[in-house]
């Protein structure tokens, strides 16, 4: 079964088999390539086309129903192929060795000759027939059997527009006139049949014979990076620890999206069967075209059976492809120049329109990709947060049904869609079919169940928090209320562990085995009516009933101890498993008399955060999450009621009649920290001093030893010289004298050295 | 020595002359030229013929005329121009001289060869 199409070719209507038409098109392209530089190229092509049309007509007149590929091959053989022109450039006597004229008339493929040609002579030529500038890139492409377009793109991207290199090759490499025209090589196409966005990835995959999803993942990595790097999207506020995004910090190329768009614009679509074959690099011969078309038809059959939007879009594609083909065919009616021009113009507009649509599409897909990845990231973050917070649930949740709600919410509302989206995306990328209806609908059902869970959970939790206690103000008696300067600081009471295996469980640092510390404390500063400091505490809590709230507020254990002028506060409010967290918090009011000074230390809060998390400001927030109230850390300088004054931590204030007045600067290091530092330095100093003393002792010892030695030598010298004098022996004198000199020199030097060392020690 | 190359050089040289000679006999359709040359045992591809004709036409040696055909669109027939006739005369003269010369030389060598062979016998 073969498809026959009608073409208007040089003023004749020819019924022609589709394969034969492909062959004809290829052939004319190859001729056009060959005669490109010939004067009167169009005329020659036109004449040849006329002749082909005439020959076809003859065949039809003889009774053939249509032009078959065999007919077309015979006609082409009789007219000759570019390779034949080049080889013989003329006619030949029948007596001479005839290499080709009848060789492949029977359905053979006319690329065979050229293909074997190319295999024989592997030389680097510039390809004059496919050139943009000098044909260097296409020459290289021919040499390596690549698509010239690929080489050009690589040339620009990798080497840059290396003009010098190009010029050198241009000059150095000889040009070829005909060698590879229309030869078999792979060409890059966009694979519109397997497209996801523009078909670029699948085209590339076909070209390099790799799986599509590999290419897609490579293009996707920058997307992921883009999202991950967008800190200000606040998607990572739970998990903005540096460990997490770094896992994805694989640089493929930040410009991959850009590359994709460029490729999309540049690569032609694989429209015809011949294109599709070229895309995978198969030899374009009749059998392979036949196979592909059969495959296409079968594929269409299965597609027709499938339902839904996929099919509709496929139809739309097919329709537009057909329309394109038709317009192409119109282009090929070179007979009528006017229509030709018109369609050229149209093609130009079409091209510009194409670019715009492609850019818009690319943008939309880019945004879509970012949204999907963001949602995924947010869900993933929430999921990890929720899961890692699960061990803490006994501090918050009532026993029983609430536990199930929260577990259900985390699994169904968060993890189920994460898994669903990931699988859907992976399936889409890998080009699998959509999951079946049952799986998809059960995913949706589970997610809806997740919504139910989350709703039930929050409603029951709100109920647990619904009532307030009756606030009771309690005055703390100060041992010495009349002092001039009061410092408020915190006492380390709570355990924390620095060697955590993973940084994703921030709350664990504030937990003992059965106690969980929250740092819900608000310190107000007001003006005292008397001349002494007054400290008052209000304990607040929520609960499901008023009684419960009151009980919880009474249970708050918050100690304040005074040591001279320093007020030490507990580091947090302990919450045990029995009591649960019901937003217990403490408001402490310090009334400062006029003319007295106060300072709320920064110490403790910041230090804890620095020590424990070590990530600076960003992670400082971790302590707040879920506990909406003012917390121990962070700066807040807005007064929250009429009576109290705003202040900054770590700054000394003087209470005046009109309010708080700043004295001195804010000390960035807290005072106790400084103490620690100085004690450290003192320790070091002490160590140094000890060392010095030891060294000095050593020196003295060695010095005295050396001195003794010197004396000994001196004595020996004297003795010797005396002996010598006595014996009147002059002969040995000369040899001994330098030795003596040396010894004294060494002694001098040693003295110097000692002096230097002493200086150094001081 | 590349024999094939020499062969094709030799053919190329006389190709245009042969074509001109056929056209000079009267108005002709390109495929007729191919047929006529085939009769003379000289094979030429239409793919080579068309560019050659175009070249000759552009050089002013040939002209063409559209002739209505029984079926389909009109066909292009080629005729000689005066200039073409003059050029043909020159080429013919050259060819005759050349043919004589070649004949003479090849015959002489043949004679010498046969002489040598005789002597050997």
Res A187: pLDDT: 66
What is the rounded end-to-end Cα distance, in angstroms, of chain B?
32
More reliable by pLDDT, A632 or B25: B25
Quick one: pLDDT band at residue B46, thresholds 50, 70, 90? confident
- Across the interface, do A89 and B48 touch by the CB < 8 Å criterion? yes
Query: What's the ipTM?
Result: 0.83
Distance CA(A241)–CA(A384), nearest Å, equals 13
Highest mean pLDDT among A172-176, A494-498, B90-94: B90-94
| Maximum mean pLDDT: which of A374-388, A471-485, A591-605, A707-721 | A707-721
Cβ of A48 under 8 Å from any chain B Cβ?
yes
At residue B88, the pLDDT reads: 92
3-class SS string, A48-99: HHHHHHHHHHHHHHCCCCCECHHHHHHHHHHHCCHHHHHHHCCEEECCCCCC
Interface check for B35 against chain A (CB to CB < 8 A): the answer is no
Q: Is the pLDDT of residue B61 over 70?
A: yes
Closest by Cα among A130, A31, A94 to B51: A31
Residues of chain B with C-beta less than 8 angstroms from the C-beta of A95: 41
A44 in contact with chain B, both atoms CB, cutoff 8 A: yes
Least confident of A180-184, A339-343, A435-439, A634-638: A634-638
Task: Tell me, yes or no, if A80 comes closer than 8 A to chain B by beta carbon.
Answer: yes
Residue-wise pLDDT for A609-641, tens only, equals 322 222 322 323 333 333 333 333 333 333 445
Our CA-based measurement puts residue A85 at a distance from the nearest CA of chain B, in whole angstroms, of 6
Structure confidence by residue, pLDDT tens digits, A410-420: 888 888 888 88
For A333-366, the pLDDT digits (tens) are: 444 444 444 444 555 666 677 777 777 877 787 7
Query: What distance in Å separates residue A121's CA from the closest CA in chain B?
Result: 17
CA distance A714 to A28: 115
Minimum CA–CA partner of B77 in chain A? A47
Whether B43 and chain A come into contact, CB under 8 Å, resolves to: yes
CA-nearest residue of chain A to B44? A91
In order of A270, A397, A407, A548, A583, the CA distances from A401 in angstroms are 60, 9, 10, 19, 21
Contacts of B76 in chain A (CB under 8 A): 47, 50
Alpha-carbon distance A27 to A10, whole Å? 16
Instruction: Please give the pLDDT value at position A433.
Output: 64
What percent of chain A is predicted at pLDDT more than 70?
A: 52
Using CA atoms, how far residue A300 sits from A193, A297, A321, A475, in Å, is 11, 5, 14, 85
Beta strand A542-543 with A467-468: parallel, antiparallel or unpaired?
A: antiparallel
Question: Looking at the complex, does the CB of residue A101 fall below 8 Å from at least one CB of chain B?
Answer: yes
**DSSP states along A406-456:** HHHIIIIIIIHHHHHHHHHHHHHHHTPPPPPHHHHHHHHHHHHHHHHHHHH
Give the count of Cβ contacts less than 8 A between chain A and B.
Answer: 92
Q: Which domains does chain B have, with CATH numbers?
A: 3-120 (1.10.10.10)
Of the candidate ranges A190-194, A328-332, B14-18, B32-36, the one whose mean pLDDT is the lowest: A328-332
- Say what the pLDDT of residue A228 is: 57
Tell me the chain A residues in contact with residue B48 when contact means C-beta distances shorter than 8 Å. Answer: 80, 85, 88-91
Who among A43, A51, A85 is closest to B48 (CB)?
A85
B:59-88 residues touching chain A, CB 8 A cutoff: 71-73, 75-76
In angstroms, the CA A272 to CA A278 distance is: 10
Between A621 and A214, residue with greater pLDDT: A214
A575's enclosing H/E stretch is strand A573-576
- Mutation target vs A (from B54, B56, B71; most A CBs, 10 A cutoff): B54
Give me the residue from A47, A57, A84 closest to B50, CB to CB.
Answer: A47
Least confident of A45-54, B49-58, B65-74: B65-74
Closest residue in B to A88 (Cα) is B8
Q: Quote the pLDDT of residue A229.
A: 56
The pLDDT-based confidence of A59 (bands split at 50, 70, 90) is: confident
pLDDT value at residue A238: 43
Measure CB to CB from residue A93 to each of B42, B45, B75 and give the nearest one: B42
> pLDDT tens across A240-261, in order?
444 343 333 333 344 556 666 6
3-state secondary structure of A45: helix
| A523-549 exposure pattern, b = at least 16 Cβ within 10 A, e = fewer | bbbbbbeeeebbbebbbbbbbbeeebb
- Which residue does chain A place closest to B12, by CA atoms? A90
Per-residue pLDDT, averaged over A460-486, amounts to: 79
Alpha helices in A230-285 (DSSP H): 243-246, 256-266, 273-280
Indicate yes or no: CB of A94 within 8 angstroms of CB of B41.
yes
Average pLDDT over residues A469-475: 81
Residue, of A173 and A717, whose pLDDT is higher: A717
pLDDT for A457 beyond 90: no
Q: Positive or negative, the Cα torsion across A74, A120, A136, A134?
A: negative
Mean pLDDT confidence for B16-29: 89
- Could you tell me if A292 and A191 are in contact, meaning their C-beta atoms sit under 8 angstroms apart? no
Contact, A596 vs A478, CB < 8 A?
Answer: no
Q: Which two tokens stand for residue A113?
A: 């000759």
Tell me the nearest-neighbour CA distance from B119 into chain A, angstroms: 33
Which residues on chain A are in Cβ contact (under 8 Å) with B45?
78-80, 84-85, 88, 91
pLDDT of residue A435: 65
Are residues A79 and B71, on separate chains, in Cβ contact within 8 Å?
no
Q: Residue A650, exposed/middle/buried by CB under 10 A (0-12, 13-18, 19+)? A: buried
CA closest to A99 among chain B residues:
B4
Closest residue in chain B to residue A13, using alpha carbons only: B72
- A699 versus A635: the higher-pLDDT residue is A699
What residue of A is the nearest CA neighbor of B8? A88
Kindly indicate the confidence band of residue A390, based on its pLDDT and cuts at 50, 70 and 90.
Answer: confident
- Which segment of A122-131, A364-373, A569-578 scores lowest on mean pLDDT? A122-131
Q: Is some CB atom of chain B closer than 8 A to the CB atom of A95?
A: yes
Among A119-128, A165-174, A431-440, B51-60, the minimum mean pLDDT is found in A119-128
| pLDDT at residue A431 in the model | 62
pLDDT-derived band at A608 (thresholds 50, 70, 90) equals very low
Lowest mean pLDDT among A191-205, A549-563, A588-602, B7-21: A191-205
DSSP string, B3-18: HHHHHHHHHHHHHHHH
- B54 contacts A39? CB cut-off 8 A: yes
Q: How far apart are CA A443 and CA A446, in angstroms?
A: 5
Instruction: Return the structure tokens found at A678.
Output: 């100085």
Cβ–Cβ contact B5 with A under 8 A:
no
**Residue whose C-alpha is closest to residue A293's, from A14, A9, A20, A75:** A20
Q: Which residues of A touch B71 (CB under 8 A)?
A: 57, 61
Is residue B98 predicted with pLDDT exceeding 50?
Answer: yes
C-alpha closest to that of A253 among A286, A214, A225: A225
Nearest to A51 among B46, B48, B71 (CB): B46
Q: Which of B41, B44, B72 sits opposite A54 (nearest CB)?
A: B72
Predicted pLDDT at B97 = 92
For A165, the 3-state DSSP assignment is helix
What's the pLDDT score for residue A106? 38
Tokens of residue A49, six digits:
């086309």
The CA distance from B76 to the nearest CA of chain A, in Å, is: 8
Q: Looking at the complex, does the CB of residue A62 fall below 8 Å from at least one CB of chain B?
A: no
Which of A48, A50, A91 shows the shortest C-beta gap to B42? A91
Q: What mean pLDDT is reported for chain A?
A: 67
Q: What pLDDT does residue A583 have? A: 76
Cβ of A92 under 8 Å from any chain B Cβ?
yes
Our CA-based measurement puts residue B54 at a distance from the nearest CA of chain A, in whole angstroms, of 7
A347-358 in b/e burial notation, b at 16+ Cβ within 10 A?
eeeeeeeeeeee
Collapsed DSSP state (helix, strand, coil) of residue A273: helix
A-chain residues near B51 (CB < 8 A): 35, 38, 44
Please tell me if residue A79 touches chain B, with a CB cutoff of 8 Å: yes
Q: What pLDDT sits at residue A258?
A: 61
Contact state of A92 with B43 under an 8 Å Cβ cutoff: yes
Q: Is B45 on the interface with A (CB under 8 A)?
A: yes
Domain parsing of chain A, residue ranges: 1-118, 122-178, 469-668, 685-761
């Amino acid at each position: 079964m073969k498809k026959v199409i009608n073409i208007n070719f040089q003023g004749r209507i020819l019924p022609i088999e589709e394969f034969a038409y492909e062959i004809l098109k290829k052939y004319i392209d190859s001729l056009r390539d060959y005669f490109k530089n010939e004067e009167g190229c169009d005329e020659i092509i036109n004449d040849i086309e006329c002749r082909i049309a005439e020959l076809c007509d003859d065949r039809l007149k003889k009774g053939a129903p249509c032009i078959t590929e065999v007919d077309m091959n015979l006609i082409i053989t009789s007219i000759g192929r570019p390779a034949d022109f080049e080889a013989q450039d003329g006619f030949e006597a029948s007596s001479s060795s005839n290499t080709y004229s009848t060789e492949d008339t029977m359905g053979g493929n006319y690329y065979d000759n050229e293909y074997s040609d190319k295999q024989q002579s592997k030389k680097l030529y510039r390809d004059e027939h496919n050139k943009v500038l000098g044909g260097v890139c296409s020459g290289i492409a021919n040499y390596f059997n690549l698509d010239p377009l690929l080489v050009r793109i690589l040339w620009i991207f990798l080497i840059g527009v290396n003009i010098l290199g190009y010029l050198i090759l241009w000059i150095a490499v000889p040009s070829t006139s005909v060698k590879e025209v229309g030869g078999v090589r792979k060409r890059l196409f966009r694979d519109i049949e397997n497209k996801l966005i523009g078909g670029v990835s699948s085209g590339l995959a076909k070209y390099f014979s790799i799986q599509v999803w590999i290419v897609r993942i490579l293009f996707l990595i920058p997307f992921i990076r883009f999202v991950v790097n967008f800190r200000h999207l606040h998607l990572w506020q739970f998990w903005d620890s540096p460990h997490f995004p770094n896992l994805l910090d694989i640089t493929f190329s930040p410009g991959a999206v850009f590359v994709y768009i460029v490729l999309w614009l540049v690569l032609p679509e694989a429209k015809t069967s011949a294109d599709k074959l070229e895309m995978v690099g198969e030899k374009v011969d009749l059998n392979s075209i036949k196979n592909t078309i059969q495959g296409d038809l079968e594929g269409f059959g299965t597609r027709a059976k499938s339902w839904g939007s996929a099919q509709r879009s496929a139809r739309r594609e097919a329709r537009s492809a057909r329309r394109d083909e038709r317009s192409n065919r119109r282009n090929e009616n070179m007979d009528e120049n006017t229509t030709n021009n018109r369609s050229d113009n149209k093609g130009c507009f079409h091209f510009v329109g194409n670019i715009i649509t492609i850019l818009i599409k690319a943008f939309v897909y880019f945004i879509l990709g970012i949204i999907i990845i963001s949602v995924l990231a947010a869900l993933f973050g929430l999921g990890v947060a929720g899961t890692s917070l699960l061990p803490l649930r006994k501090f918050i949740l009532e026993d029983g049904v609430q536990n199930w709600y929260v577990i259900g919410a985390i699994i169904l509302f968060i993890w189920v869609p994460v898994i669903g989206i990931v699988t859907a995306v992976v399936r889409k990328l890998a080009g699998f079919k959509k999951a079946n209806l049952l799986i998809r609908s059960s995913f949706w059902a589970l997610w809806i169940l997740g919504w139910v869970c989350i709703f039930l959970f929050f409603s029951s939790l709100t109920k647990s928090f619904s009532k307030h206690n009756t606030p009771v103000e309690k005055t703390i008696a100060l041992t010495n209320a009349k002092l001039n300067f009061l410092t408020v600081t915190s006492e380390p009471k709570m355990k924390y562990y620095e060697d955590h295996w993973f940084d994703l469980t921030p709350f664990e640092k504030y937990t003992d085995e059965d106690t969980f510390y929250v740092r819900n404390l608000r310190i107000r500063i007001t003006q005292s009516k008397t001349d002494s400091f007054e400290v008052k505490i209000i304990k607040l809590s929520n609960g499901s009933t008023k009684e419960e709230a009151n009980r919880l507020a009474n249970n708050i254990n918050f100690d304040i101890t005074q040591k001279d002028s320093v007020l030490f506060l507990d580091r947090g409010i302990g919450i045990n498993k029995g009591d649960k967290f019901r937003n217990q918090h403490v408001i402490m009011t310090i009334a400062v008399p006029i003319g007295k000074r106060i300072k709320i230390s920064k110490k403790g809060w910041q230090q804890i955060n620095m020590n424990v998390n070590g990530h600076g400001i960003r992670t400082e927030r971790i302590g707040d999450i879920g506990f909406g109230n003012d917390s121990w850390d962070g700066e807040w300088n807005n007064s929250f009621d009429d009576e109290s004054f705003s202040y900054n931590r770590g700054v000394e204030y003087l209470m005046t009649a009109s309010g708080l007045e700043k004295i001195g600067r804010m000390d960035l290091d807290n005072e106790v920290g400084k103490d620690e530092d100085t004690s450290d330095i003192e320790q070091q100093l002490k160590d140094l001093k000890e060392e010095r003393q030891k060294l000095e002792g050593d020196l003295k010892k060695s010095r005295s030893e050396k001195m003794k030695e010197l004396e000994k030598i001196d004595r020996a010298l004297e003795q010797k010289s005396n002996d010598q004098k006595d014996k009147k022996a002059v002969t040995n004198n000369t040899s001994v004298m330098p030795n003596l000199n040396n010894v004294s020199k060494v002694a001098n030097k040693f003295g110097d050295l000692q002096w230097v060392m002493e200086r150094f020690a001081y | 020595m590349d024999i094939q190359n020499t062969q094709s050089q030799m053919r190329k040289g006389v190709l245009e002359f042969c074509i001109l000679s056929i056209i000079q006999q009267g108005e002709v359709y390109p495929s007729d030229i191919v047929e006529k040359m085939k009769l003379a045992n000289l094979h030429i591809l239409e793919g080579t013929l068309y560019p050659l004709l175009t070249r000759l036409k552009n050089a002013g040696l040939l002209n063409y005329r559209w002739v209505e055909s029984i079926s389909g669109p009109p066909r292009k027939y080629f005729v000689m121009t005066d200039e073409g006739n003059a050029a043909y005369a020159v080429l013919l003269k050259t060819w005759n001289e050349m043919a004589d010369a070649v004949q003479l030389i090849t015959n002489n060598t043949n004679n010498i060869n046969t002489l040598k062979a005789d002597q050997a016998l």
